[in-house]
Structure 1
């Protein structure tokens, strides 16, 4: 046992006694670390919620090399997405499946070849490695390189996100079982706080600072398949989930996303009526210092930065202001644009590069992935919005990365 502990210390020294300056909390409009220093999320989305249900890119590159590329930009966090289906398998279907099984199920006859590529790029894995163990490995390497993890529940059923007819849109939709969703969040919150080394006073994911309860609520196309699509239902379900997550892991921040593909949280800053006299009152939560708002924005065809700025502010960023009844941090957890043209210099990207750092708001760009194992039925799908190239060996566009670096530097400044 002592030899195992020593090996762990030598392998992951940064995991000892917790990651630097955690846990985090929210204080008015800021996220602050355990020393009281303001922290700004500056990061990238690393998808892991699609059909295979493991983080993308591992057939082409090692986890270490991918994290090193993120680190080279001076980013400090990844938004790592997962599907509830993975937890459903663990709870209801005899346990998590191996990554070998996951590739075979998602990719059919080509699954084994991709699995063998993953082993070649990541020889620490083997035939017994499960999907969740890959997530564990990503988190551990991020900690080793000084990067925090924000975990995001992206989908219930593992698949490409998002549309109004994908069965994952809203509570009660085809694949969106609200009880299993809450159970999945609770399971992951507990999982990241457990460790095989209790004597070291560390945690399984010592660099895990926050969790997003759900990505992009949206009104489902299928009539009659869901609970009413409104703020009242949003409130009751989100509060119930947040209560469970906080009880399971009181250290982590809880991100609340909005409606209409998470483009609006408009009733929240001013504590407006959500229906039935229900209002969101941050001060009423016993874990009020763990709550954060998140929004997405994909106004890629925007022609006016002023219009974008006022829209973002009114849709939720006004919670940053001291005049807000619910003054809270707001993080732009998704925005993005083509990496294959001059979009990085367009109105949309230039505007966000300016206003988000001006507001001292956190952000995570979509997306790291240069390709996907499979997306909407197409295997080895090319992601032209990906910061990485198709084979995850380098950046897709040096010019787009230069523009992004300006945003990073402004946010760090």
Structure 2
């Protein structure tokens, strides 16, 4: 399935629950741990990274596809945001930035790419590189998506260039700091300067800041906050790389990170749903990018694209969903004549998890119950029977386990027809060849999920 890389965005504290409105009133700001629109409604950034910071500094893929086709593909897959990388010299070296796309390809001897660009995006070929970058931003906005600029220098200039472009909702100051001399003192010094420069030039955008060690470490903020003259615009960004996570956490326990990239991703999806943070997926192009993935990948991601929580609990009915991270689907109850099955989380029943460890359908007397080893689970109104109390077990905290009347321990599982069954719990030992995926479920806080928003800029 290829390499997965996520940026995920944290704010500074935690609250809960509000469904996303169908119209997003820009610009955005922050309240507690949430990103919200002008009306205070939660806006969850579900982004994809689109690199344009390579040696030829144009958005990747434009030699293979028209820019509008790529933007429409991103939007059709449920993403509402593009994190568009920007190279250093495009912001700081005017002589290079003034080169046209054609001249840039010719200078690098990329004649095959030049021919592809001519065929797919002829109107952009003779634009200066900065103008070509702006044309990509404009096309993303035309397709009803928000843009986060990921830049490394020239902050004031680029913030000024895109001031007044409402769909540019955020600017990321620096991607993956990895200098051998990186240190906390310099981080505070230069991140403060960069954040103030961006906010001064464009007070509408979110200011997005990443940490040290390839963007994985912000722990020092527990001891000292970043002091800024503005409020309501700061977003903290962390990076998670499936390959890096595997190397760092080698283990023979299949319920811990480090076994393989796919299992890391399943575990990460469970965490992402539980914390409901905003995120950006790598990447549009490259060898295994978004343009080449099959539909099963996006089914898994779709459950994370809509907000599950938000800043206002007064107008919603808090409940839980039971997510199956390996598929991105949730447990559904459709009728008495049909067994429980996996289906789209937007159609999920509202579940509750009680102090007695009952999984109940809220607003009813029904609870989830295991009947027999290898048989479908069912809903019952007699919730005192064996098989009705569900423990969340293992290091992954993603097994739902109960005991039958004969004291046999079983776990919730999914069979080949997507039917919810109970079976012997698997992969709880140290066999790293065992795949626990079918038995991984996450009980997640949620509210009603609404459709993808339409952006409102005036």
TM-score by length of 2: 0.57
- Asked if 1:38 is matched to 2:37, the reply is no
The equivalent residue for 2:104 is: 102
Distance 1:307 1:22 in 2: 40
CA shift, 1:94, in A, is: 7.2
The equivalent residue for 1:294 is: 237
Structure 2 counterparts to residues 332-411 of structure 1, below 5 A: 343=261, 346-369=262-285, 371=286, 383-384=287-288, 386-389=289-292, 396-408=293-305
Distance 1:57 1:299 in 2: 23
Larger radius of gyration: 2
Q: Which runs of 5+ in 1 are unaligned?
A: 1-18, 156-180, 194-202, 221-227, 273-278, 312-341, 372-382, 390-395
What stretches of structure 1 move > 4 A for 4+ residues in a row? 302-308, 409-412
Contact map agreement 1:305 1:351 (CA 8 A) in 2: no
- Asked if 1:238 is matched to 2:191, the reply is yes
Which protein has the bigger strand share?
2
Which protein has the bigger helix share?
1
The equivalent residue for 1:135 is: 133
Contact map agreement 2:44 2:306 (CA 8 A) in 1: no
* Number of positions where the alignment pairs a residue of Structure 1 with one of Structure 2: 281
Q: Which moved more, 1:144-153 or 1:402-411?
A: 402-411
Q: 1:247 aligns with which of 188, 193, 200?
A: 200
Contact map agreement 2:178 2:214 (CA 8 A) in 1: yes
TM-score by length of 1: 0.63
CA shift, 1:305, in A, is: 8.9
Contact map agreement 1:387 1:401 (CA 8 A) in 2: no
Contact map agreement 1:262 1:295 (CA 8 A) in 2: yes
Contact map agreement 1:305 1:348 (CA 8 A) in 2: no
CA shift, 1:188, in A, is: 0.6
Distance 1:407 1:40 in 2: 9
**Residue aligned with 2:174, SS:** coil
The equivalent residue for 1:280 is: 225
CA shift, 1:306, in A, is: 7.4
Contact map agreement 1:212 1:256 (CA 8 A) in 2: yes
Distance 2:128 2:188 in 1: 34
Task: Identify if the C-alpha distance between structure 1 residues 99 and 286 changes in structure 2 by more than 3 Å, giving closer, same or farther.
Answer: same
CA shift, 1:366, in A, is: 0.8
The equivalent residue for 1:175 is: none
Q: Which runs of 5+ in 2 are unaligned?
A: 1-22, 309-345, 347-448, 450-458
